[in-house]
Chains A and B, each alone.
Chain A
Amino acid sequence: AQSVTQPDIHITVSEGASLELRCNYSYGATPYLFWYVQSPGQGLQLLLKYFSGDTLVQGIKGFEAEFKRSQSSFNLRKPSVHWSDAAEYFCAVGAQGNTDKLIFGTGTRLQVFP
Chain B
Amino acid sequence: DAGVIQSPRHEVTEMGQEVTLRCKPISGHDYLFWYRQTMMRGLELLIYFNNNVPIDDSGMPEDRFSAKMPNASFSTLKIQPSEPRDSAVYFCASSTNTDTQYFGPGTRLTVL
Physical interaction between A and B: no
